[in-house]
Amino acid sequence: MDDFPPVSLAVSRLRDRMRLAAICCCALFVPRWNHAAESWGGSLAVTSDYLVRGISRSNQGAAAQADLHVATDTGLIGGVFASSVKLSEGDHRNAELSGFIGYAWQASSAWRAKVVASYYGYVWNDAGSQYNYAELGFEAAFDDWLDVGLVYSPDAPRYVFGDGLYGVAAKTAEVTARTPWSHRVAATVGVGYSHLGGADGAGGGGYAYWSAGGVLDLAPWSVSLAYVNTNAEAATLFYSAAAHNRWTATVIWRF
């Protein structure tokens, strides 16, 4: 991964527009935030493999993570997240830093929803800001056991072997479900599909990913174990970072 061509002008302009939109949203939300009651929280975690949509961001190794978030009674939400990462075998271990702002609401007695704008930065990565990207996500949850999510990114990082790193449009849809708690234990299952745009002659493509596992609730601690897999197309797009019959364990302390 020696050559890192710049992202296209169109993608760069779209990224700038999303940043401008985020600034405008902040300016709109700040007056409401000043008059809202706040609820703060956070967590510290260790995971055996930092997987996002079936793709490892820690080169199949362990990662340490932390987050801090706030919610107001008006529905405004925001937060920051940090994780150790190793985005390719040739990189040194560095950090992913991200922040988000959004709005959450109760659609009915059973349905909750939220929309979130996020930005991810890799300030100490060998490729610099080439890995940085933005996302816009929507999530709906039914009765605390079913979650449906949609995510769009205008500049998701995609590495093309022998060519370099590009920012491409990416769209994702996923569904996760959890069984009722029984003696502090619940089972989880999830499935998703992600599509990435083409880059400089390399065609776009999509891949499916799925997981199954369980969670042990020992509040404020939780321990989870999950089996994660992807189809063959994931390896075509992400090479060895794509999960293949992989098990991952995570320990979280929430405060």
Q: How far apart are CA 60 and CA 247, in angstroms?
A: 10
Q: What is d(CA 159, CA 156) in angstroms, rounded to the nearest whole number?
A: 10
- Find all residues with CB under 8 Å of 60, minimum gap 6, and list them: 49, 240, 246
- Annotate 39-75 with b (16+ C-beta within 10 A) or e (fewer): eeeebebebbbbbebbbbbbbbeebebebeebbbebe
The pLDDT, as a whole number, for residue 89 is 82
Using CA atoms, how far residue 71 sits from 31, 105, 117, 218, in Å, is 15, 11, 15, 24
Backbone angles phi, psi at 40, to 5 degrees: -100, 150
Burial class for 140, CB neighbours closer than 10 Å (0-12, 13-18, 19+): middle
Joined together, the tokens standing for residue 169 give 């449009």
pLDDT at 31: 54
Amino acid at 114: K
pLDDT value at residue 200:
72
Which residue reads 């929309």 in tokens?
Answer: 115
Q: Which residues of the chain have pLDDT under 70?
A: 1-36, 128
DSSP assignment, residue 5? Answer: P
pLDDT tens for 72-82 read 999 999 999 99
- Tell me the average pLDDT of the chain: 89
Q: What is the residue extent of each domain of the chain?
A: 9-254
Cβ contacts of residue 159 below 8 Å, gap of 6+?
1, 88, 165, 166, 238, 239
- Taking the chain, what is the end-to-end CA distance rounded to the nearest angstrom? 39
3-state secondary structure 111-150: EEEEEEEEEEECCCCCCHHHHCEEEEEEEEEECCCEEEEE
| DSSP conformation class of 239 | G
Specify the pLDDT at position 2: 43
DSSP state of 59: T
Architecture in CATH for domain 9-254: Beta Barrel (2.40)
**CA dihedral sign, ordered 197, 238, 81, 91:** negative
- The pLDDT of residue 183: 95
pLDDT in tens, 148-199: 999 999 999 998 888 888 999 999 999 999 999 999 999 999 999 999 999 8
Give the separation between CA 191 and CA 189, rounded to whole angstroms.
Answer: 7
Residue 201 zone, left/alpha/beta (φ > 0; ψ -120 to 50; rest)? left
Please, are residues 104 and 71 in contact by the beta-carbon 8 Å criterion? yes
